[in-house]
């Protein structure tokens, strides 16, 4: 674990934090006027090794900042909160140095971005052991895709956009078919891929969900929550990684299909369970997240990149 200290006076600026994989969608907006959750889990931080959007690269949960003060100023253009457009707005309470940017406006992930040149990480106790896949296989609790009102979790739409980028990249000019339970999420998008060549088949696979004997071309696999590495697939099977929480939901929490029933409820039994939530609109891809994820996938042929760019509307907004 690490604590980030002020480069100026050495004061601790964060709680002890464990490093986790950087969420690719961290710097990207979502929708318009959408209330947003905190990006990082409390007690964790992430570093963008290859920042392209901004100079911001170290991200923590706002609640994990200590010994800091928010610069009170008008943020022209911000809407429901602070959008950080004027640069660092958090100072070290010890020496007044600007050390971070707090962001909590609508449609932006709530986060505090530490200034890489104003802070330094110092060891603060043993690192959290990295769980192996066997350990991760024991946990079956998934992250719901929807809230109770039928609104998609913004994190699910962002994560699905990353996975979609991997599926489209792996298509490489061929159609892609997806098995349940992936079909509901991805089939609409993949319908815009060129038809004609033999289809590449995609299944869900990972700890507790083995690959079928006849290997697929592509597997949607969980991403390790600490290292960010995808679940390893054998040669010839392209891995399309997905956040492990949503992966578990798809793998282990499929909704039971509604079945017609006959008769009545027995006396004394009341039908008081809420029905499972249903989305009020189809899943949408986040354009900027999709293309950012695509740009980080190595070896996508330039001609195929051109096709994806030229057909972005059909692929992302079917
Ligand atoms: Zn300081």
The 10s digit of each residue's pLDDT in 212-254 is 999 999 999 999 999 999 999 999 999 999 999 999 999 998 6
What's the pLDDT at 212?
95
Tell me the CA–centroid distance for residue 293 and ligand 1, in Å: 36
Q: Is 3 helix (H, G, I), strand (E, B) or coil?
A: strand
Q: What is the Å distance from ligand 1's center to 100 Cα? A: 11
Ligand 1 centroid from CA 46, angstroms: 22
Residues in the chain: 318
Span 21-26, average pLDDT: 93
How many angstroms does the Cα of residue 114 sit away from the middle of ligand 1? 13
CA of 16 to the centre of ligand 1 (A): 17
CB 111 within 8 A of CB 61: yes
Overall CATH class of domain 1-128? mainly beta
Six-digit token pair at 220?
């949607």
User: What is the model's pLDDT at position 139?
Assistant: 85
Q: How far is the CA of 7 from the centre of ligand 1 (A)?
A: 7
The pLDDT score that the predictor gives to residue 203 is 96
Is the pLDDT confidence value at 74 over 90? no
Q: Where are the beta strands (DSSP E) in 155-281?
A: 176-178, 200-204, 218-223, 238-243
Q: Does the model's pTM come out above 0.85?
A: yes
- Using the mean position of ligand 1's atoms as its centre, give its distance from the Cα of residue 11 in Å: 6
The least confident of 90-94, 209-213, 277-281, 286-290 is 277-281
Distance 307 CA to ligand 1 centre (A): 50
Give the lowest-confidence range in 51-60, 244-253, 270-279: 270-279
Q: Where are the domains of the chain?
A: 1-128, 133-254+277-316
Q: How far, in Å, is the centroid of ligand 1 from the Cα of 18?
A: 22
As a whole number of Å, the CA-based R_g of the chain is 22
> Helix or strand or coil: residue 124?
coil
- CA 288, CA 309: separation in Å to the nearest integer? 12
104-148: per-residue pLDDT in tens?
A: 999 999 999 999 999 999 999 888 889 999 899 888 889 999 988
Task: Calculate how far, in angstroms, residue 95's C-alpha sits from the geometric centre of ligand 1.
Answer: 4
Q: Would you state the structure tokens that stand for residue 22, as one six-digit string?
A: 């950087």
Q: Average the pLDDT over each of 149-153, 167-171, 274-278 and give the range with the smallest value.
A: 274-278
Instruction: Dihedral sign for Cα 47, 48, 50, 54, please.
Output: negative
Q: How far is the CA of 97 from the centre of ligand 1 (A)?
A: 6
Q: Residue 5 phi/psi, 5° resolution? A: -110, 160
Residue 53 has pLDDT above 60, yes or no: no
pLDDT at 178: 94
Outline where DSSP puts E strands in the chain: 2-6, 18-19, 44-47, 58-60, 68-70, 90-92, 98-103, 111-114, 119-123, 176-178, 200-204, 218-223, 238-243
Bridge pairing between strands 58-60 and 44-47: antiparallel
Q: Please tell me the distance between residue 92's alpha carbon and the centre of ligand 1 in angstroms.
A: 5
- Residues 181-196, mean pLDDT to the nearest whole number: 93
Sheet holding 90-92, edge to edge: 18-19, 44-47, 58-60, 111-114, 98-103, 90-92, 68-70
Q: What does the pLDDT average to over 62-84?
A: 86
- The CA 118 to ligand 1 mean position distance, Å, reads 9
Question: 116 CA distance to ligand 1 centroid (A)?
Answer: 14
Task: Say if residues 46 and 40 touch (Cβ distance below 8 Å).
Answer: yes
Residue with tokens 């800091």: 68
Q: How far is the CA of 106 from the centre of ligand 1 (A)?
A: 30
CA nearest 241: which of 157, 167, 313? Answer: 167
Q: What distance in angstroms lies between residue 197's CA and the mean position of ligand 1's atoms?
A: 61
């Amino acid at each position: 674990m690490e604590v980030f200290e002020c480069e100026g006076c050495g004061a601790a600026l964060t709680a002890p934090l464990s490093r986790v994989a950087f969420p690719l969608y961290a710097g990207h907006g979502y929708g318009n006027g959408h209330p947003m959750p905190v990006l990082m889990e409390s007690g964790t931080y992430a570093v963008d090794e290859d920042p392209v959007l901004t100079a911001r690269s170290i991200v923590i949960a706002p609640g994990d900042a200590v010994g800091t003060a928010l610069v009170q100023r008008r943020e022209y253009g911000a809407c429901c909160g602070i959008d950080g457009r004027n640069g660092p707005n958090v100072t070290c309470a010890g020496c007044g140095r600007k050390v971070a940017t707090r962001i909590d406006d609508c449609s932006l992930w709530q986060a505090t971005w530490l200034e890489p040149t104003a802070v330094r990480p110092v060891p603060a106790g043993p690192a959290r052991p990295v769980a192996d896949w066997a350990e991760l296989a024991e946990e079956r609790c998934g992250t719901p895709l929807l809230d109770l009102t039928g609104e998609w979790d913004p994190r699910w739409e962002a994560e699905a956009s990353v996975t979609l980028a991997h599926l489209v990249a792996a298509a490489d000019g061929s159609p892609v078919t997806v098995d349940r339970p992936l079909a509901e999420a991805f089939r609409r998008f993949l319908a815009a891929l060129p038809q004609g060549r033999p289809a590449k088949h995609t299944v869900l696979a990972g700890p507790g969900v083995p690959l079928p004997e006849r290997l697929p071309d592509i597997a949607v696999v969980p991403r390790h929550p600490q290292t960010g590495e995808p679940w390893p697939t054998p040669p010839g099977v392209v891995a399309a990684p997905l956040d492990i929480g949503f992966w578990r939901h798809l793998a282990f929490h499929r909704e039971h299909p509604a079945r017609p029933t006959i008769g009545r409820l027995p006396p004394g039994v009341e039908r008081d369970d809420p029905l499972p939530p249903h989305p009020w609109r189809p899943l949408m891809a986040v354009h900027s997240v999709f293309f950012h994820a695509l740009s980080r996938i190595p070896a996508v042929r330039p001609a195929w990149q051109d096709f994806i760019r030229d057909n972005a509307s059909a692929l992302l907004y079917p």
